[in-house]
Amino acid sequence: MFGMRRKKESELARAVAELGHASTLAFGGVGIAGTLLPETAAYQRVAAAVTDHPEEVRDLLDRLLAGGAPAGRVYAATLLERLDPAAGRAAWTTLRGDEAELSTMTGCVMGSTTVGEYAAERLDAA
């Protein structure tokens, strides 16, 4: 039992580390084949752990928000919003002034934006 918990924790830490280096923001499959990017798969693994390991996820997301790549910070704020809506809103508010650029993909459509622009859109949609 203890070994299984450690394995789950290390899988979660690896997934968050993957998000920390994410270069593209995509929440589903991309391209004609609908391929799942490694960062999207990592996002999904962390999202699945939110319910079962909320405290651990929160700690990892706080660190990701503070030190991740631009796409990683957006993933962190999105996950924080799921975990704790008030913390998610605070994260988006903080990120609103972030001028770092990131790539986005939705299906076959590739785009780019800044973290701040993305955060402003999330705040406006709330």
DSSP string across 10-65: HHHHHHHHHHHT--EE-SS-BTTTTBPPHHHHHHHHHHHHTTT-HHHHHHHHHHHH
What is each CA distance from 15 to 4, 109, 113, 123, in whole angstroms?
Answer: 16, 25, 24, 26
- Percent helix, percent strand, percent coil in the chain, to nearest 5: 65, 15, 20
The share of the chain scoring above pLDDT 70, in percent, equals 93
C-beta atoms surrounding 91 within 10 Å? 24
Query: Could you tell me whether strands 109-114 and 101-106 are parallel, antiparallel, or unpaired per DSSP bridges?
Result: antiparallel
| The pLDDT of residue 61 is above 90 | yes
Q: Write the single-letter amino acid at 86.
A: A
Q: How confident is the model at residue 126 (pLDDT cuts 50, 70, 90)?
A: confident
pTM of the model: 0.91
| Average pLDDT of span 113-126 | 96
Confidence of residue 2 (pLDDT cuts 50, 70, 90): very low
Q: Is the Cβ–Cβ distance between 75 and 118 less than 8 Å?
A: no
